[in-house]
Amino acid sequence: MKIEKANAGHLTNFEVLDFLRTRGAKIDPMGCLGAVAASECKVYEYLLKTPACNQTRESVTEFANRCEGFKLTDADKQNIINWRPASAADVYAMVEECGKRFCKDERGMPQDEEDRANELVALVDEVFPAPPANPEDEVDVDMKDV
């Protein structure tokens, strides 16, 4: 393997999961021996329990395009894509200095920061599919199918 460009950028959990799928990773490490390393199967299994399990490349791209008015850094966007906040409290935990950055809208007009946090949650709900009710159940179902 040749590294073309070191530190070219950060990967979202979805991108890692998508890469592992293309390489043939499975939940059962015995089922993918030779195709991928056992550690990659473990990462794959973990990522199936995160919001990345049902995201699409289109939804990630759409979110990245539509969230521009929120003054999010690349790290903020990555956290939101990876962990899919479900409430304003989640947004405050993920976005550094959320109160300072959300006190004005994209036009620079004063706005209630909690309203902006709720707008971001609404955008996340609109763009990304709902996470599975119980990801553990889906993993068990997948293991029965293998």
What lies within 8 Å, CB to CB, of 136 at 6+ separation is 49
pLDDT band for position 9 (cuts 50, 70, 90): confident
Give the right CATH number for 57-127 from 1.20.1250.40, 3.40.50.261, 3.30.70.1450, 3.90.230.10.
1.20.1250.40
pLDDT per position as a tens digit, 62-109? 999 999 888 899 999 999 999 999 999 999 999 988 888 887 766 767
Q: What are phi and psi of 49, to 5 degrees?
A: -100, 5
- Give me Rg for the CA atoms of the chain: 18
Nearest to 123 by CA among 109, 102, 146, 144: 102
pLDDT per position as a tens digit, 10-61? 899 999 999 999 988 888 766 666 678 888 888 999 999 999 999 999 999 9
Task: For the chain, give every domain's residue range.
Answer: 13-54+132-145, 57-127
Contact 60, 81 (CB under 8 A): yes
Report the predicted TM-score, pTM, of the whole model to 2 decimal places: 0.79
pLDDT per position as a tens digit, 100-132? 888 776 676 767 889 999 999 999 999 999 877
Instruction: Check the CA dihedral 76-80-83-86 and report its sign.
Output: positive
How far, in Å, CA of 51 to CA of 36, rounded?
A: 23
Q: What are phi and psi of 114, to 5 degrees?
A: -70, -35
* Residues linked to residue 110 through DSSP beta bridges, in sequence order: 104
